[in-house]
Amino acid sequence: MIKIYHNPRCSKSRQGVAILENSKKEFEIVKYLENIPSEKELTDIINLLGISPIQLVRKNEKIWKENYKGKELSDSEIISAMIENPKLIERPIVINDNKAVVGRPPESILEII
């Protein structure tokens, strides 16, 4: 089953949901600001994406700039920061079996569905 980690307030995330709706495939929406991923879940997502944790961080968020920018953080500290402040997680993230993509641009979702 396809899964999208979605923030309804984000236009790119809404575009990602629209792409999945148009695909006519079944998918699950995870509103990750309400249902914050666990450390294991977020680590698994990062591994599926094939990126380092820092690459999933929204570095322009005020929370990042005020609390983390310029600090030497380990991968686990970065993951903890995203769990404590889920707004820091880049979105949307779409997972289809063992493939995942950050939907920026949203059309990149088409590569895995």
Domain ranges across the chain: 2-111
Residue 61 is predicted with a pLDDT of 97
What CATH number has the domain spanning 2-111? 3.40.30.10
Mean pLDDT value across residues 52-61: 98
Average per-residue pLDDT in the chain? 97
The predicted model gives 55-84 an average pLDDT of 97
Buried b (16+ CB within 10 A) or exposed e, 16-34: bbebbeeeeeebebbebbe
110 tagged catalytic: no
CA end-to-end distance (rounded Å), the chain: 10
Catalytic residue among 10, 29, 30, 113: 10
pLDDT score of 102:
98
Give the pLDDT confidence score for residue 7 in this predicted structure.
97
pLDDT average, residue stretch 77-99: 97
In tens, the pLDDT along 2-43 reads 999 999 999 999 999 999 999 999 999 999 999 999 999 999
